[in-house]
Amino acid sequence: MKRCARTQSLILSLTVAAGFSACSTPDAAPPGSGDPLGTLAEPLDYHRDAKALLDRYCTDCHQAGGIAPFALTDYAAAKAQASQMKAAIVGGSMPPWMPADSGVPLLHSRKLRPEDRASLLAWIDQGAPEGDPQAASRVVLPPADKVEPPRPDVVADMGLTYQPNPKVTDDYRCFVIDPNLTADRYLRAVDVRPGNRRLVHHVILFEIPLAAAAKVRSKDAAEDGPGYTCFGGAGSNSAQMVAGWAPGGVPGRLRDDEGILLRKGSLLVMQVHYNNRQNDGQGDRTVATIELLADKPAHQLILLPVARPDQLMIKAGDPNAQQLIAVPVSLIMSYAQIGGTELVLSGTTPHMHTLGKRVVTSVNDSPLVEIPRWDFHWQQAYQFQNPVSLRPTDTLVVECDYDNSFANQPVVDGQKQMPRDVTWGEGTSDEMCISFLHVRMPTPAP
């Protein structure tokens, strides 16, 4: 069945998001990089061969205080984790880069080059020897495409440690933050840092315009304790999503000519979704660091979610459930009041929950971003190497595949759960099928 014949539908709703994508490496080998070290007759060792590769691909996360469960910053640690590293590399789960090569070229890829993969596996298979600590590295690597951390022009801080409501499994809490904007400004880079990753399912930063500020402040004042309950959004129809984080999300920076508008006098609302199944009693204090542009950029970026909540139904026991959402680009442009003859995308952010196993955002029959093996714990926004222009006659398609078999059910309080019919919902045990489009438009004249 052709995609163009499928039911065409569009619901644009601000529900959840992942963070911007982050530092990594290009997939292509640089000129003159030579043969893979794994093919050399001479044995490999840590100091000459493996260390540079681990530093390049692993230690941003695998370091003291990093988000990974163990460090890989010295020989003893690397040796101790060698078998675990091999399993992750062979299985493709590490380094954590989820997109397939079927989509358009992406910025900030963390994918291992084939020669680097071969070298690490060869070193491990040779017994992970240390070698001479004084020996120079003989690894040639391309420059890292790293994201510079944001300058702290605005620090969106909850201001306290919040204890989620223990009476509910999923606690959605919104915290009001005043960025003290005396003029229109544009967000350039952001780093959202959850204080307790065991608790935090996702974070979204919303901009609330001055006209709606009193409404969210009244919601805050009406509830005891910090913040207010806010399932599904920020509690205001005027809210605009400007940034987000989900497990695996990392700091990000927009293109040099892009920015997300934060209007004069607006507030920020930080929505944090807490899941209490792993509540360790430590609470959470999430902080977002935001860098602002000094001048108005040539292009304004908006985050436009595409979903169809009313048609999501995942039957109990179905290992191959699927939702398809096919939307005419002309309808997206009309809904978002985007004029002109094209819709330009700078990237996209897919999102599902724990039953998800594959998600693809396509134009007609050409994938933009395909995640062939969805992992709830590694979600990101993906930036295209070059913006993609869509015609009004094109069709944007979001495909979400799910496994709702008994084998894929969670264990709660030591008990394997039975499959049940699952629909769209805000809880972690519910599901979603959504793709956030990073829409790039010329910045309006004043």
368-387: average pLDDT: 93
pLDDT digits (tens, 9 = 90+) for 385-440: 999 999 999 999 999 999 999 999 988 888 999 999 999 998 888 999 999 999 99
pLDDT digits (tens, 9 = 90+) for 250-286: 788 999 999 999 999 999 999 999 988 888 889 999 9
Identify the pLDDT of residue 189. 96
118: pLDDT strictly greater than 70: yes
- Pick the more confident residue, 250 or 207: 207
The number of CA neighbours under 13 Å toward the Cβ of 423 is: 4
Cβ–Cβ < 8 Å for 284, 164 = yes
Selection from 393, 381, 237 nearest residue 328 by Cα: 393
pLDDT digits (tens, 9 = 90+) for 356-368: 999 999 999 899 9
CA 418, chain centre distance (Å)? 29
Cβ–Cβ < 8 Å for 28, 106 = no
Whole-model pTM above 0.75?
A: yes
315: pLDDT strictly greater than 70: yes
For residue 383, the cross-strand partners are 347
b/e map of 144-174 (b: 16 or more CB within 10 Å)? eeebeebeebbebebeeebbbeeeebbbbbb
Residue 133 CB neighbours (<10 A): 10
Identify the pLDDT of residue 174. 96
Tokens coding 117: 């993969």
Identify the pLDDT of residue 41. 52
CA dist., res. 367 & res. 31, Å (int): 29
3: pLDDT strictly greater than 60: no
370: pLDDT strictly greater than 60: yes
5 pLDDT band (50/70/90 cuts)? Answer: very low
Q: What angle do CA 426, 429, 431 make, to 5 degrees?
A: 60
236 pLDDT band (50/70/90 cuts)? Answer: confident
For residue 299, the cross-strand partners are 258, 442
Share the mean pLDDT of the chain: 88
How many residues in the chain? 446
CA dist., res. 67 & res. 336, Å (int): 37
H/E segment holding residue 314: strand 313-314
Q: What angle do CA 195, 267, 438 make, to 5 degrees?
A: 75
Strand 434-442 relative to strand 252-253, pairing: unpaired
DSSP letter string, 53-76: HHHHHTTTTSSTTSSSSS--SSHH
- Pick the more confident residue, 166 or 435: 435
For residue 395, the cross-strand partners are 328
DSSP class of residue 46 equals I
**Max intra-chain CA distance, the chain:** 72
Burial of 226 (0-12, 13-18, 19+ CB in 10 A): middle
pLDDT digits (tens, 9 = 90+) for 10-63: 444 333 333 333 333 333 333 333 444 444 557 999 999 999 999 999 988 888
299 pLDDT band (50/70/90 cuts)? Answer: very high
74-103: average pLDDT: 92
67: pLDDT strictly greater than 90: no
pLDDT digits (tens, 9 = 90+) for 125-152: 999 999 999 999 999 998 777 778 899 9
Contacts of 413 (CB under 8 A, 6+ apart): none
- Pick the more confident residue, 147 or 300: 300
Q: Can you list the domains of the chain with their CATH numbers? A: 3-19+148-442 (2.60.120.310), 37-125 (no CATH)
95-112: average pLDDT: 90
